[in-house]
Homo-oligomer: A and B are copies of this chain.
Amino acid sequence: MEKERLNTAKTITIYDIAEEAGVSASTVSRVLNGSASVRKEKKERIQKIIEKYNFKPNALAKGLSDTATKNIGIIAADVRNPYYSALFVACELAAEKAGYSVVLSNSLGENERERAQLDIMMQQRVDAIIQMGGRVDDLITDDSYAEKVRGICEKTPVIVTGKLDKAPVHSVVIDESNAMDILMEHLFALGHEKIALVGGEMKVASTYNKYQKYQENLRKKGIKERGEYVVNGTYDPESGYECTSKVLDLEERPTAIIAINDFAASGAVRAIKEHGLRIPEDISLVSFDNTYIAELTIPKLTSIDYDYEGYGRVLIETAVSAAEGKNVEMMQMITPKLVIRESSGKLENGV
């Protein structure tokens, strides 16, 4: 049987354009990129032919001869998480404006995949790599991972949303500590002192930092920390539900709960309602990330926002500048902001 190739219209190249215009390929290239002046007459003739064929230069060939591909690789932990999808889309939009494209892949919590993706992006010759979540969230940097990234940094700038010790990467991180301060100030102002912290793993740097600040805030306020008010878990609704249930079953239950993210908070809402308690009358609930989940729950969640659009812009600006060899700060902070909705309220009376 003969092998049939259906989709095989002739690929038109810069040479075809050149021939039809009666000029050399170089000239076509010049008008394509505006890299040098071409006589107006010729220029127009060439442009007409380009349009006629709707010619688009082969990006592979261009990337091969150039040094840049105008592609930025993004490795996200999981775009199904609204935090990452919001940030990713923000990056995509910012990149578009800067004349770059983004290439996304999800590490999905698997170390192996994350490393493989780094390799693929290098092979693809992206001009910079942005890593959002995953290994760069680890409180203790994985040594072999750091080494891998170090190798990459020699050729391609790497920007992370967390930290990576021992590797010259650019960091653009949320000021988690500040975020926790804001949240606790809010709760203190409402009269809460019995405050629980649910969800999240201590091996994740951002969670650990929040925990530190949680302690510090209590201490400053002269409130003794109760170990049973801090229940670790993961970052999903199920975990939020379980952690919250535990806290609510305590003899002396808290009057306010801080969930590690909106997902966990949504689980917390369920647990609180099942315990026959009202939000915020009986218990206040606040969380981090301000994803659209915060508007889906009933009541809507008071949550910490990061201005995703701005965050994405900074990430891309950093990536682009670094890719173009400009000098960029190695460490930048994103300032969080409190968005007050319905889930937090004044402490009415003791429990």
Interface residues of A (CB under 8 A from B): 3-9, 11, 54, 56-61, 63-64, 69, 78-80, 82, 85-86, 88-89, 92, 96, 101-106, 108, 113, 119-120, 122-125, 151, 153-157, 237, 266, 269-270, 273, 292-293, 295-298, 322, 325, 327
User: Can you list 16 A-B contacts (CB < 8 A)?
Assistant: A5-B325, A6-B325, A7-B153, A7-B322, A58-B64, A78-B89, A79-B79, A80-B82, A80-B292, A82-B82, A85-B85, A96-B113, A103-B103, A266-B296, A269-B298, A298-B298
A52 smallest CB distance to B (angstroms): 12
C-alpha gap A176/B139 in the complex (Å) = 46
Point out the residue from B4, B101, B298 that lies within 8 Å of A105, measured CB to CB: B101
A100 smallest CB distance to B (angstroms): 11
A324 smallest CB distance to B (angstroms): 9
CB–CB B295/A296 < 8 A: no
List chain B residues, Cβ under 8 A from A153: 7
CB–CB B273/A298 < 8 A: yes
List chain B residues, Cβ under 8 A from A61: 60, 64
C-alpha gap A153/B216 in the complex (Å) = 61
CB–CB B296/A296 < 8 A: yes
CB–CB B266/A54 < 8 A: no
Once A79-B88, A273-B298, A296-B296 are accepted as A-B contacts, the answer to whether A155 and B60 lie under 8 Å apart by CB is no
C-alpha gap A293/B11 in the complex (Å) = 45
C-alpha gap A155/B13 in the complex (Å) = 14
CB–CB B7/A157 < 8 A: yes
List chain B residues, Cβ under 8 A from A7: 153-157, 322, 325
Which residue of B has the minimal Cβ distance to A270?
Answer: B298
CB–CB A124/B4 < 8 A: no
A80 smallest CB distance to B (angstroms): 4
C-alpha gap A124/B89 in the complex (Å) = 20
C-alpha gap A53/B273 in the complex (Å) = 58
Which 5 pairs show the lowest CB-CB distances between chains A and B?
A9-B154, A59-B123, A80-B85, A60-B63, A60-B64
A320 smallest CB distance to B (angstroms): 13
CB–CB A296/B237 < 8 A: yes
Once A80-B89, A155-B9 are accepted as A-B contacts, the answer to whether A295 and B237 lie under 8 Å apart by CB is yes
CB–CB B79/A69 < 8 A: no
